[in-house]
Amino acid sequence: MEKQEYLDLYYQMVMIRLLEEQAAQLYQQGKIGGFLHLYIGQEAVSTGLISVREPRDRVITAYRDHGVAINCGIPATEVMAELLGKATGCSQGKGGSMHMADVKKNFWGGHAIVGAHLPIASGLALGDKYAGNDNVTICMFGDGATNIGYFHEALNLSKVWNLRVLWVCENNQYGMGTAVERASAVSEIRQKAEGYCIPNSRVDGMDILAVRQAASQAFEFIRKESTPYFLEIMTYRYRGHSMGDPERYRASEEVRKWQENDAIGIYARHLLDDKIASQEELDQLDALVEAEVAEAVRFAEESPEPAPEALYEHIYVDQQFGIIT
Amino acid sequence: MARITMREAISQALWEEMERDPSVFILGEEVGVWGGTYAVTKGFYDHFGPDRVRDTPIAEAAIIGATIGAALTGLRPVAELMTINFAFSAMDHIVNEAAKLHYMFSGQFVMPMVIRAVGGGGRQLGATHSQTPDAVFAHFPGLVVVAPGTPEDAKGMLKSAIRSSDPVLFIEHATLYQVRGEVPEGDNLVPLGKSKIQRPGSDVTIITYSKMLEISTKAADQLAKEGIEAEIVDLRSLRPLDMDPVIASFKKTNRAVVVEEGWRSYGVGSEVVARIYEQAFDYVDTPVRRVAQKEVPLPYNRNLEQMALPQVDDVIRAVKEVL
């Protein structure tokens, strides 16, 4: 890996963290509405995973999607504008925090019904199979999604039809406030893939290089064998499930313990210890991200609201169906 | 013009569209090797092969979810739900995904997909397999919901649905498959979202669709013998709902009966009647009547089931009440 690549991974993780810290503040100021699910703590999962995909590989995820959006190449300005519901947002202000996408960057959203995007991921992979290419569809979801029927229908279909899907369970230990052991018959989630004869492995999601390596191997396997693969990535979210979560279900000591092994901190130490980057270079990147987040906030705040006409746009592709008032 | 059955009309539409466009493929339970539970896709598997005629597991959320995903890649999948009653197992994917992704991502997601679903009662299948929940689906903006009542419309509208860039729920009625009708030769497209006068008349307007078109036509035949000329408007599409022919007819007759197979409460008739009052209140001579299914889960017993379903006599009685 070239030095610039190493630095870019650091840059992306710091970008997700600072952008979301800023978003949390804007939420508290009432500038962001609805739900806001922060990815803070889990940055290495999406950053590592998506850094080794080819641009032709599709990405689809759940509602904790800001980080994935950044990793897929959506500019911070457009992510922030979407959070503020502005016309310049990646979904032009009609999706919000949970529904970000940029099809041109092969990022297929941002889906807010737990587990519902898994069958859609199978369909995306079916489309690629039908077209005869070896593109991979990367489908990310939380541990909570593995208890709903859609998960099982989608995994089964992907194996029966030999679809090129990389199923990625981000196991952050809690489905909302319910610990994995309290909701799932097996707490080692990857075992669920065994039931569908889908090869699988488990990796430390606080180590971005381990995530990259596991994902690279998975991509290679999927492309070669034309079959799905299941990756369980162990991670932890530092913030609540969403803003306003009282967090009665876990001790602050537990959170602190995970934060001591913070993915960005571990990675920074690795870059310094192996003399890949100097502290000065990392400081410069931190400052760059800070400036870009500030610019994203300025851009979002100064952007226009969607025009009133947008209310009736994009209900149907076919204009002859008109507007029903 | 050829005189063919509804089943043949639907089958021909699928076959011709698959021949015309390689991006069209079908998937569903037993559509392939079996040849379709209602034999609509008989012979397709041998001709088009397993990639384009895809047998699925019995997993409706996976079927509709995969249909959405494949459509997002630019294909034109046609999913078959063995019965519309199984659509409830895929409800989230129909109403939360298919109906919303285009809007929610401001036009980035396009889903040129069709869900064919067989509905209707009258075959002693019991309460869970006999429903007509059309109005439920027509409630959701973003879906196109159609339910043709003649072979000509079925063929022409299915072709339009397959070529449409929007998700279309195409509702077929199990007891109409054997019905015959004239169908024009060749590539005859019937537009979605357009109602049609199926029978001209001057005394009363009957607004109906799907199986109830057959019932209403029989009623109109008997009424004609008594000198009562009913005009029948076939809605054909429930969303978008084209009220223009309904209002034009009502302004002429000033009397109307809405006939639907589903339940009366919150039904198609509720919507049509409300719009008549909104758009043509000054033309109302007498309250508009609704004929609909009794508000019970459909029972198995043949006599009880027929008591619950709208009959020709119910339509005749309602027409006489508004005259």
Read off the pLDDT of residues A147-196 as tens digits, 9 standing for 90 and up: 999 999 999 999 999 999 999 999 999 999 999 999 999 999 999 999 99
pLDDT at A322 exceeding the cut of 80? no
Task: For B192-217, write each residue's pLDDT tens digit.
Answer: 999 999 999 999 999 999 999 999 99
Give which of A150, A234, A142, A251 is closest to A188, Cα–Cα: A234
Alpha-carbon gap, residue A105 to A125, rounded angstroms: 16
Tell me how close the Cα of B167 comes to any Cα of chain A, in angstroms.
9
Segments of chain B assigned to CATH 3.40.50.920: 196-322
Partner-chain residue, chosen from B75, B103, B192, that has the shortest CB–CB distance to A314: B103
Closest chain A residue to the Cα of B62, Cα to Cα: A119
What is the pLDDT at residue B186? 87
Which of B17, B129, B152, B261 is labelled catalytic? B129
Ordered by where they begin, the domains of chain A are 3-321 (3.40.50.970)
**CB pair distance less than 8 Å for B107 and A313:** yes
Catalytic residue status for B129: yes
Query: What is the pLDDT confidence band of residue A124, given thresholds at 50, 70 and 90?
Result: very high
The secondary structure of chain B, three-state, reads: CEEEEHHHHHHHHHHHHHHHCCCEEEEECCCCCCCCCCCCCCCHHHHHCCCCEEECCCCHHHHHHHHHHHHHCCCEEEEEECCHHHHHHHHHHHHHHHCCHHHHCCCCCCCCCEEEEEECCCCCCCHHHCCCCHHHHHCCCCCEEECCCCHHHHHHHHHHHHHCCCCEEEEEEHHHCCCEEEECCCCCCCCCCCCEEEECCCCEEEEECCHHHHHHHHHHHHHHHCCCCEEEEECCEEECCCCHHHHHHHHHHCCEEEEEEEECCCCHHHHHHHHHHHHHHHHCCCCCEEEEECCCCCCCCHHHHHHHCCCHHHHHHHHHHHC
Confidence at residue B26, expressed as pLDDT on a 0 to 100 scale: 98
Intervals of CATH 3.40.50.970 along chain B: 2-183
| pLDDT at residue A13 tops 90 | yes
* Whole-number pLDDT of residue A187: 92
Confidence tier at A324 by pLDDT (50, 70, 90):
confident
Q: Across the interface, do A317 and B165 touch by the CB < 8 Å criterion?
A: yes
Reply yes or no on whether B60 is catalytic.
yes
Residues of B within 8 A of A318 (CB-CB) are 164-166
CATH number of B2-183: 3.40.50.970
Nearest CA in chain B to A93: B106
Dist CA A316 CA B103 (whole Å): 8
Which candidate from B72, B77, B104 shows the least CB-CB separation from A94?
B104
Candidates A130, A160, A309: best to mutate against B (most CBs of B within 10 A) is A130
Q: Which fold is adopted by the domain B196-322?
A: Rossmann fold (3.40.50)
Q: Does A322 touch chain B (CB under 8 A)?
A: yes
Confidence of residue A325 (pLDDT cuts 50, 70, 90): low
Per-residue pLDDT tens, chain B, 323 aa: give them.
899 999 999 999 999 999 999 999 999 999 999 999 999 999 999 999 999 999 999 999 999 999 999 999 999 999 999 999 999 999 999 999 999 999 999 999 999 999 999 999 999 999 999 999 999 999 999 999 999 999 999 999 999 999 999 999 999 999 999 999 999 988 999 999 999 999 999 999 999 999 999 999 999 999 999 999 999 999 999 999 999 999 999 999 999 999 999 999 999 999 999 999 999 999 999 999 999 999 999 999 999 999 999 999 999 999 999 99
ipTM topping 0.90: yes
Residue of A101, A116, A318 lying closest to B105 (CB–CB): A101
**Nearest CA to CA, how far is B136 from chain A (Å)?**
17
Q: Residues B256, B259, B264, B267: is their CA dihedral positive or negative? A: negative
Residue A143 burial by CB count (10 A; 0-12/13-18/19+): exposed, middle or buried?
buried
Chosen from A153, A158, A159, A160 to mutate, greatest number of chain B CBs within 10 A = A153
Size of interface A-B (CB pairs under 8 A): 151
